[in-house]
Amino acid sequence: MNENELIQAIKQRANNEKTRTDYADRFCPELARPAPPHAVLQAEFALGFPLHPLHRRVLMDVGNGGFGPGDGLIGLPGGRLDDDGRSLIELRSVLWSGPESAGLPEKVLALCDWGDSVWSCIDEETGAVLTLDESGLTETPWSFHTWLTYWLNGEHLFEKMFTFQERPIINPFTKQVMMARAPASAIGTPYKRTDPS
């Protein structure tokens, strides 16, 4: 599917409250209005780098967050914020990509929250989708275009992001030990920023 077809399909799914996000059955956020060009330019100036062209287009043509995988895309200031009221700009400095680094690496922004300290992120320069969890950033095998296409096709992205294992946990209601399926490790390669020389 080309980029124009992708945008039209995202608009259609985003306009339906039942399919707007992966978690729409629990809570459906408002679809934020599309980001005006001046808001995108202000955000890019504040960040110090441009957004990936498809990320920019999605925010300007579909909506400034509130739709997409997980809990929905986080927007720029003035759009759909995360559950703690933070835009993509604020999240950049509070998400930790490793024990030795505060904040996300340069040109990496959060896309959406999956819960349990798991985020999908994007390398705004390359368009690569990254998984952020307790072990740091992992580069998935997907571009932003492919990631959105999988979501449109109903793929369970969280299932594609991790290997899983059975772990014993204590049932909070019965206080009995039970086995639960939990993410073991993110699929992909450890993210290493490679700046062109």
pLDDT above 70 covers a percentage of the chain that reads 94
187 lies in some domain:
no
Residue 179 buriedness (CB in 10 A; 0-12 / 13-18 / 19+): exposed
Predicted pLDDT of residue 102: 66
Phi, psi of 44 (to 5 degrees): -65, -35
Assign 197 a pLDDT band (cuts: 50, 70, 90).
Answer: very low
Q: What is the CATH number of the domain that holds 14?
A: 3.40.1580.10
167 lies in some domain:
no
- Mean residue pLDDT of the chain comes to 90
More confident residue, 28 or 75: 75
71 lies in some domain:
yes
The C-alpha atoms of residue 120 and residue 99 are separated, in whole angstroms, by 18
186 lies in some domain:
no
Average pLDDT of the residues in 136-163: 93
Of 9-18, 35-44, 95-104, 184-193, the range with the lowest mean pLDDT is 95-104
Q: How far is CA 110 from CA 4, 64, 95, 107, 192, in A?
A: 24, 14, 8, 10, 16
195 lies in some domain:
no
**Predicted TM-score of the model (pTM):** 0.88
23 lies in some domain:
yes
148 lies in some domain:
yes
197 lies in some domain:
no
| Residue 160 C-alpha from the chain's centroid | 14
Domain that holds residue 99: 3-161
Q: How many CB atoms lie within 10 A of CB 137?
A: 25
Q: Count how many domains the chain has.
A: 1
